Each structure stands twice: as C-alpha cells, then as structure tokens.
Amino acid sequence: MNAIITTLPGDGIGPEVIAEAVAVLHRVGEVYGHTFEIRTALLGGCAIDAHGTALPQETIDACTSAHAVLLGAVGGPKWDNPAAKVRPEQGLLGIRKTLGLFANLRPVTIHEQLLAASPLRPELLKDVDMVVVRELTGGIYFGEKKRSPHESGEIVIDTCVYTTGEVERIIRAAATIARGRKKKLVSVDKANVLETSRLWRATTARVMADEFPDVVLEHMLVDACAMHLIRRPADFDVIVTENMFGDILTDEASQLAGSMGMLPSASLGADSGGPTRMGLYEPIHGSAPDIAGKGIANPMATILSVALLLRHSLGLEAEAQAVENAVYATLEAGIVTGDVAAKGAPVSDTKSVGAAIVSRIV
C-alpha cells in the first residue's frame, strides 16, 4: 500500500525517538512491500519559536492530508512560563481537537523482562494486560475558562462539559475493544460528586445494556480506581473514562509497566468505514528535557506507537505484530536504554536500540 504519514517530532527527546520510529517504518515498507511517504511538520515549542504559535496552519494541513500522524513529544522549560499566552501543550490539545480524535487508547502490558523495573512487587504484576480508553476532546480540558478580578485577587473558573453523544461514542469505542478481549469494562467516574459523571454513568449503563449485553460492566469511582490499579492491576481488562481522569490514571498505570518509556498510545477519530482511519500516535511519555540531546532516550514507546499506527490506521495487522515482536525480541536480548535496564546490566543508547529493533523486522 501507499500511505502518507506525517511526523510531528516536537521538542526535547521527540526528534530523537521519532528518527528511530521512521527507520522502523521504512524497514516495514521494505520487508512487506509498502511505500510510506514521510512528511514532517512543526508542533509545540519548536513551532512557537518558528511561527509564534504551537499549531501553525501548515501543520494542520500536513496532518489532514495524511493517512496518520506520528508525534514525538511537546514542551520544555524554555516555554514553561505559566503566564505565557502561547504554550506548547496548546499544539497537542489543538491537533487532537482539530482532527476529532476523541478516543485515546493507552494499552498497559508488562513484559517479563521489565518486572524488576516496576516499583510494584512482581507477583502483583503477573498477568497485567489492560487498555485504558480515555475520552480526549471533551471535559474540563476544553470547557470554558474564565478569569476575573476578585476582592481576594482573582476568581478563576474551569468548566467540565460533556454531552450525551460524546459519552455514547467513547463508550461504544471502549466496549467494542472489550468485546475483542476479556469482555470486561470498568467505567470510571466521580458520580457521587460531579453532574457530568452522573450523565456519564447513566449513559454508560444504557448503552451497555442496549448494545453490549455480552460485556460485563462495572462502574468505579475514580479514587477507588486509583487504589485498585495498584492493589490488583491484573484484574482490569478495559477501563474507560473521561479526559482528565484518564490523563491521571494513565500516568499511574504507566508505572506498572516499569517505565513510561515503554508505553504507546493511539488517538482515533470516528471509524470512516474505509480501509484507513485517521489517527494520531504518540508515546505517553513527555519531552524529557533533562535527557534531550544526549541520545539516551528509550525509543520503544514511539516504535510501539508505530505498531498501533499500522494496526489501527492502515489495517496492517501482520506488520504491526512484526514490529511488536521485534521490540520484545530486543528487550529479551537485553538491548535496552538505562530507564529499563536491570541494575548493573549493560545500557544501550537510543540509536543502538532503534537499530536492534530494525534488524529484527524480517
């Protein structure tokens, strides 16, 4: 197949990990006879420096004209002034919203090799295999914000907004994934306090009863979920939740996998019904300014994001599995960056890990 893939390397370690991911894409093309045309555009801090905005129009155009988008990371201390009008994160939030990517899939699996890298006891981690489905274009992230003077200084408002339709579509997306797995869906909310959560819970119950009677649904409050993720992580199959709860819970869940450097994510829009589906793929880690430019960042999360891209946007399942297997084989060979290396074991740099993965795609 011929596909156009736009990369948004972004800031910090973003360009370093994207370079390895692009090498993987080219290798997959060679081995399986596909042509991937790779384009690059600016997003985040680098776009602010070049154009004064985190999401330039030409970046939007480069994404809408592609079959899929692969993103590194955005942000860094250079653009961190909280009072600034333009911020790198606006680029990320803006591109998610502009492309209508409402379903964010964050799979958490734990590989034998990484048991020691997790702060949790290995016996708790055995059999951990879950997908967190985070609603990505609604909630408090995108509701109205206001600042006005107040006798004590200022009064500031963030608004959390959800519509029935927004809840229905994310529940359907998550339940469909659960149906293809262990048929267990945990829906996370704060229905004892928040009105949006009460809509979320009622809508979820209705959609599941009407359309997914074969999937077991459990409602869980977000504070309890935070606890159970640590106490009994292996009990979860698919978790679905709103935007901010999903942001917080997935950082927590990432620790189950040992390192944030291991976890990919996919952000999907509505299913087009056609052979390809627009999606944006990114590692869940950030720009890691403290190690940027040193060549030591772990490229595995970004390369595993390439596997998700092949699977979800291009429908190339065998190719996706080949990439995942190459990553696991590289882990097993002990060719890893410092964040996941066992104590005293040899440490490889970004490029050697990338090359080892490329050479295992056959």
- In angstroms, what is the minimal distance from the CB of 247 to ligand IPM? 4
Say whether 214 is catalytic.
no
List, in sequence order, every residue forming a beta bridge with 268; answer none if it has no partner.
103, 279
Q: Are 175 and 208 in contact (CB under 8 A)?
A: yes
Whichever of 113 and 254 has its CB closer to Mg ion, that residue is 254
- In angstroms, what is the minimal distance from the CB of 112 to ligand IPM? 27
Closest by CA position to 126, among listed 142, 110, 107, 105: 110
SS3 283: strand
Whichever of 211 and 247 has its CB closer to Mg ion, that residue is 247
Q: Are 105 and 131 in contact (CB under 8 A)?
A: yes
Instruction: Give 215's contacts (C-beta < 8 A, 6+ positions apart).
Output: 175, 178, 179, 183, 184, 185, 208
Size of the site for Mg ion (CB under 5 A): 1
Closest by CA position to 258, among listed 132, 343, 351: 343
Q: Residue 223 half-sphere exposure, CB side, CA atoms within 13 Å?
A: 4
Piece of the chain touching ligand IPM by CB under 6 A; list 86-94, 118-126, 152-160, 173-181: 86-94
Q: How far apart are CA 125 and CA 234, in angstroms?
A: 7
Say whether 61 is catalytic.
no
Q: Which residue is nearest to Mg ion (CB)?
A: 247
- Cα–Cα distances (Å) from 123 to 80, 118, 188, in that order, read 40, 11, 25
Piece of the chain touching Mg ion by CB under 5 A; list 100-108, 150-158, 178-186, 239-247: 239-247
Closest by CA position to 305, among listed 97, 48, 53, 5: 5
- In angstroms, what is the minimal distance from the CB of 171 to ligand IPM? 20
Does residue 247 touch Mg ion according to CB under 5 A?
Answer: yes
Size of the site for ligand IPM (CB under 6 A): 4
- The number of residues making up the chain comes to 362
306 binds, among Mg ion, ligand IPM, none (CB under 5 to 8 A by kind): none
Q: Are 42 and 103 in contact (CB under 8 A)?
A: no
Piece of the chain touching ligand IPM by CB under 6 A; list 89-97, 125-133, 193-201, 216-224: 89-97
- In angstroms, what is the minimal distance from the CB of 105 to ligand IPM? 12
Q: Which of 92, 171, 280, 320 binds ligand IPM (CB under 6 A)?
A: 92
Residues 247-266 that bind ligand IPM (CB under 6 A): 247
What are the E-state strand segments in the chain?
Answer: 2-10, 35-40, 68-73, 103-109, 129-135, 145-150, 153-158, 184-189, 216-221, 238-241, 264-268, 279-283
- Exactly one of 235, 251, 349, 351 is catalytic; name it: 251
Whichever of 203 and 254 has its CB closer to Mg ion, that residue is 254
| Residue window 93-112: x/- pattern of binding to ligand IPM, with contact defined by CB under 6 A | x-------------------
Q: How far apart are CA 220 and CA 357, in angstroms?
A: 39
Say whether 339 is catalytic.
no
8 binds, among ligand IPM, Mg ion, none (CB under 5 to 8 A by kind): none
CA 17 to chain centre: 15
129 binds, among Mg ion, ligand IPM, none (CB under 5 to 8 A by kind): none
Piece of the chain touching Mg ion by CB under 5 A; list 86-94, 129-137, 243-251, 327-335: 243-251
Per CB under 6 A, residues contacting ligand IPM are: 89, 92-93, 247
Per CB under 5 A, residues contacting Mg ion are: 247
Q: Which residues are marked as active site?
A: 141, 190, 223, 247, 251
